[in-house]
Every structure is written in C-alpha cells, then in structure tokens.
Amino acid sequence: MGNRVAREDFEWVYSDQPHADRRKEILAKYPEIKSLMGPDPRLKWIVCMMVAVQFLAFYLVKDLPWKWVMFWTYVFGSCINHSMTLAIHEISHNTAFGNNRAKWNRWFAIFANLPIGLPYSASFKRYHLDHHRYLGGEGVDVDIPTDFEGWFFCTRLRKLFWIMFQPLFYTIRPLCINPKPISQLELINVSIQLSFNALVYWAWGAKPLVYMMMGSMLGMGLHPISGHFIAEHYMFLKGHETYSYYGSLNLLTFNVGYHNEHHDFPSVPGRRLPMVKEIAAEYYRELPCYTSWVRVLYDFIMDDELSPYSRVKRRLTGEVKQE
C-alpha cells in the first residue's frame, strides 16, 4: 500500500486535442450526424421526475433510524444525485431547451441542482465549456489535477483517499488553477440552493438534509458511478487522452460513458451518442474503451504506474477565449 507511483509529472504534449479534427473528418463523411444535434425533448421530463423522486425521498427518510438513513443515502440517494450532476452536464450543453433558449437551460440547471444540496450548476457551466475547448490546457482546464494532487497522492492508500474525496478536490481546484470573478448567476444559484436547504431542514429536520448532502458527497466519491471521473481522461494507455465506457451504468448517467463521441460532438445529446458510434463505427471501433467503471477504479488504485499525474497536458498558444 506504500509503493510510490513512477510518474513525477503530467504527460506533456505539443499537439492539438484530437476531437476537433476527428469531428471535421466524420462530418465530411457522414453529414447526417448534424441531424442528431439539438435539444432532447425527453431530458426536461426525466430531470423533473428525478427531482420529484428525491423530494419524495426527503419526506420518507425523515422518520427513519439514522442507520437506515445512511444506508439509503449510499444505496439510492447517491445514485440519483450523481445522475443529477450528469443531467446538469447535459443541460450545460443546452440540450434541454436548445441554443436559442440558453437562459432557460441556465435556470433549469439551477432547478436540477436543488436535490444535490451543493450549489454548483452555474459554475460548472463556465468551467466545463473551457474543458471542451481547451482539453488539457494548462491554467484553463480545471479537470486536470493540481501539481499538489499529482505529487502527494502517489501511493495506493493515498489514491484511495483521493478518490473518496473527489468532490472536495473538484470544488477547490478551480480556485487554484483558473479562478474567475463570481457571476450574478452563481450568486443566484447559491442563494436559491441555501434557501432550499433551509426550507428542507425547517419542514422535515436534519435527516433529509444529511441524505441530500451526504448522497452527493458519497455518490461522487468511492462509488461505482464515480469511476467515470477516472475513465474519461486518465491516461491508462500512452497516446490516448479520452476513453469511452460502454456498460450498463450509461443508463443512469445520460450516456456520459460515450465520452469520445461526446467530445467529438458536444452538441449531440447523450441519448443520441450511441447513434454517432453506430454511424461512424470505423472511427470508434479501434479506440480503447471500458466496460466496467468499478474495474477502472480498482486498476487506478492498484496500478503503481497510475496517479493524478496520468493526464495529458498541453500549453496553449494564441488567444484563449474563456466562458
């Protein structure tokens, strides 16, 4: 458990990310993929249903013994809340109401944020689009761990703790790598979320609040679904910086596992990403992929060649336009 990993720095490259060129090549050959772009009319109803389910869960757990509150928090609440974060990921690409109603998407994301307990939807939008434009970009892409994370979490035990506390690092990392002025929408997001949390506590007490907050923390920590954090871009194979996952958990995560397809076509809603893979099969068939996020977590912890440093990183040149 004490073996240190071999990496002492990120994998620095001096080429552009592969997704823009592949997108152009695929669209030239299969222009029908453009018809897959645009909003998913089902998304808003699915999100509303999930929010309603969590509201019902808040009411049901208020009288349970604490041991059962924690049990259902991990078994059920963590799955729903992590799924809600990925719904917000979908909405950040304007797939709920389309690009022509961008503000509707922003407000709907704040609504979807309510059961999560932690106000993050407005900030996520700002940083996530930078992640797509400047994948691996130094000082811009906050999905890349800090140097401290790469240096310190370098043993199996430390990597285990790093995964357990992923939500904390995702919260702190933007402040260290790419701090931005607080926007009005972020302040609104925080005020609405804190007011909602206070209302839940006033109506039903502490147990629903613990169920809500701990569900988010546990669901994004050491949890099968959180394997996607590692699977998406950590370099298990040299020369590959994005990986897709084709397993059953895509059903709970809006097909976020189709990650090569998503970065190639971020305007295509998750529900239609399998169609991209089917149409342009020859572009994705030979790319390395996963079928188990649990196995990804296990391999990341146990493989002494892997660490938070196992990311492709590039220095950006030219003008950088951020959200």
> Which residues of the chain carry a pLDDT beneath 70?
1-6, 323
Q: In which region does residue 254 sit, left (phi positive, over 0), alpha (psi from -120 to 50) or beta (all else)?
A: left
Angstrom distances, CA of residue 169 to CA of 38, 177, 183: 32, 11, 21
The count of domains in the chain is 1
All residues at 6 or more sequence positions from 215 whose CB lies less than 8 Å from its CB, including other chains = 73, 74, 77, 78, 80, 81, 117
Alpha-carbon Rg for the chain, nearest whole angstrom, is 20
Tens of pLDDT, residues 233-292: 999 999 899 999 999 999 999 999 999 999 999 999 999 999 999 999 999 999 999 999
Instruction: Say what the pLDDT of residue 317 is.
Output: 83
Question: Quick check: is 321 in a domain?
Answer: no
Domain that residue 94 falls in = 11-314
Q: Is the pTM of this model over 0.85?
A: yes
Instruction: Say what the pLDDT of residue 204 is.
Output: 96
CA distance 41 to 90: 12
Amino acid, single-letter form, for residue 274:
P
Instruction: Say what the pLDDT of residue 3 is.
Output: 65
Query: What is the residue whose two structure tokens read 């954090």?
Result: 229
Instruction: Say what the pLDDT of residue 322 is.
Output: 74
Question: Quick check: is 148 in a domain?
Answer: yes
Question: Quick check: is 4 in a domain?
Answer: no
CA distance 232 to 230: 6
Contact 240, 17 (CB under 8 A): no
Please choose, from the candidates 159, 165, 144, 147, the residue with its C-alpha nearest in 3D space to the C-alpha of residue 303.
159
Instruction: Say what the pLDDT of residue 304 is.
Output: 92
